[in-house]
Amino acid sequence: MKVVAKNRRASYDYEILDKVEAGVILTGQEAKSCRQGHVNLSGSYVSFLSGKPILRSAKISPYSHASGLENYDPGQDRKLLLKKSEAQRLQSALDEQGVTIIPLEVRAGKHIKVLLGLGKGKKRYDKRQKIRERDQKRKLKKGEDY
């Protein structure tokens, strides 16, 4: 499966605890647009409505060759397809303090799939510490090359 969209900010803002792959219910023109890579996952998240997972705020641009797009909303909510046990596990984890479900990437093959991550929000000092460690590794590697 080809990765058509990635949420790069997710790994910076969240510590990913677990990953789950889910199907997503799309219309025909949305699926074609996804395959072309016209998906934006920034700011999107997953919530539960009466026990069913829903992808919120993911923007799928309208398909350029489709007709009848007057009423199309790119940021509409979309239902996710998960096994019942997975959905219950994610919903119980969502009840914890500071845990959220975020889409990490969209994959397109025969079916359109969304990789979901169970993430715990990082604090500002955690982010700065990570940047410091990365800079130190970069300096060490640069020093070894010379």
Handedness of CA 99, 94, 105, 44 (dihedral sign): negative
Tell me the C-alpha distance between 119 and 141, whole Å. Answer: 30
- Domains of the chain: which residue ranges? 2-145
pTM equals 0.83
Give the range among 80-84, 87-91, 95-99, 115-119 with minimum mean pLDDT.
Answer: 95-99
User: 2-145 in CATH: which number?
Assistant: 2.40.280.10
Handedness of CA 35, 36, 38, 42 (dihedral sign): positive
What are 13-67's pLDDT values in tens digits? Answer: 899 999 999 999 999 899 999 999 999 999 999 999 998 999 999 999 998 887 7
